[in-house]
Amino acid sequence: MSAPLWTSEDIELATGGTASAPFTVTGSVSIDTRSLQPGDLFVALTDQRDGHDFVEAAFKAGAAGALVSKPVGGGPVVQVDDVLEALTALGIAARIRCGAIRTAVTGSAGKTSVKEMLARIYAAFGPAHSNAKSFNNHWGVPLTLARMPEDTQRAVFEIGMNTPGEIAPRSHMVRPQIGIITCIGAAHLEGLGSVEAIALEKSDIFAGLEAGGTIILPADDVFLDFLAERARELCPTGNVETFGRSEDATARITGYETDGKTSRITVDVVGRTATVTINAVGEHWASNVAAALLAASQTGRSVAECAEALNGYAPPPGRGTAETLALPDGGSFTLIDDAYNANPASMRAALKSLAQRTGGRRLAALGDMREIGSSSAEEHIALAGPVVEAGVEGIFLAGPEMQRLAEALPPGLPQASAPSADDLWNQLQKALKDGDLLLIKGSNASGMGRLADRLRQWSAAAGLGKMESSPEGAARTS
């Protein structure tokens, strides 16, 4: 029988709080009563809503106890001055008591995919731990740490940001032995101002790197030299390794091929060659595989073992998952749901991967790319080339920024535009035909994910929709 995650006494010691009565957390740590399980600790965070309003519901759902900052009824609590600060302290205490090898991942694109790949590999070799969904912000990182069982052997943490100064404190919380930057691109320009500022902020992933830790960088990135220099400043004893197609890369991509549904990727890691087949399409996946194999091979397992564990990987929903969905009048179409998020680099990669898929007409439904600042108009217009190169035969555009792309597209390309994703529905469902390939992509806030969900419901009403692959689910989060 596994040891309890926390006792009220443990929580008191870690947070400086006061328990109203003893309790034992036999489950996990929850901030949402809708997903809370019996035995969980409920943490009453205040964000858009005050978590204290849900403490009673948490106890009715079976919470073992609650972490609060004001008196509440319904069950035993530990009361603290500030709930978020207490959660952070609890997370740090979890890290200190656990001997796990910790990996931290950031980057402008691919960080969730690399995190998910590492979670899969690590789980093959013993007790492992990782962020749920994309819990990578000021409460997501400490929450993930606080959920980490003491017997965890390997753990991976995704760390994100929107504005300057966010990554370093989260890196110090995690204190990784391995730090990864997937790439630098034009994401969150609205908060950072320039790609150079993004590179500077992302490099802070190494601020908390343990002495002698491993620094993993993208070999083909224009910011490689800057990132390497900055990493050595932050962790002078760190060991720099790289991944990519460069001849000098530690993990060098030597082969990529696809049948339009799966990809076969070959990587050479310091003379050890491994081949991985994944249920995803697009050459950008090769970089994710190379980064994951390089990082995992630093945790005491061979490259061959790591590759074997990664074989069969499929992305979570919203990250390029392909599904075959039934049409009401017979036949079916393929939905490529990449609607979790979007920036210029990931949008181009998604369009390129659409071109590599086999089937009928290639269609694209694209929503606004958010948080890219003053360059937004230019970046949306610049997608016209990749759309044409992908062989898109019909395009559906949602949002005011995508209207700029609409004006830049060739006049002969069939297109439909709407103010929002929801307003595209009628035009999209009327256009779909048997054999079509439909890519849906946009920033999470653009609402394109709702369009993908609506297509699934429409298909379910028409008949049985069948997944090409069955990745473990992860609900969308902002």
* pLDDT-derived band at 149, boundaries 50, 70, 90: very high
What would the pLDDT profile of 425-451 be if each residue is shown by its tens digit? 999 999 999 999 999 999 988 999 999
Burial of 94 (0-12, 13-18, 19+ CB in 10 A): buried
* pLDDT-derived band at 470, boundaries 50, 70, 90: very low
Write the DSSP string, 423-450: GGHHHHHHH--TT-EEEEE--GGGTHHH
Return the pLDDT at 354: 95
Q: pLDDT at residue 478 above 60?
A: no
Identify whether the C-beta of residue 192 lies closer than 8 Å to the C-beta of residue 165: no
* pLDDT-derived band at 465, boundaries 50, 70, 90: very low
Q: pLDDT at residue 43 above 90?
A: yes
What would the pLDDT profile of 372-425 be if each residue is shown by its tens digit? 888 899 999 999 999 999 999 999 999 999 999 999 999 999 999 999 999 999
Q: pLDDT at residue 474 above 60?
A: no
* pLDDT-derived band at 189, boundaries 50, 70, 90: low
What's the mean pLDDT in 235-256?
Answer: 97
Amino acid identity of residue 140, one-letter, is G
Write the DSSP string, 369-428: PPS-GGGHHHHHHTTHHHHHHTT-SEEEEESTTHHHHHHHS-TTS-EEEESSSGGGHHHH
- Count CB-CB contacts under 10 A for residue 99: 10
The two structure tokens encoding residue 10: 């443990």
Query: Residues of the chain with pLDDT > 90: what percent?
Result: 84
Q: pLDDT at residue 151 above 60?
A: yes
Secondary structure (H, E, C), 18-68: EECCCCEECCCEECCCCCCCCCCEEECCECCCEHHHHHHHHHHCCCCEEEE
Strand intervals (E) in 270-352: 272-278, 321-326, 332-338
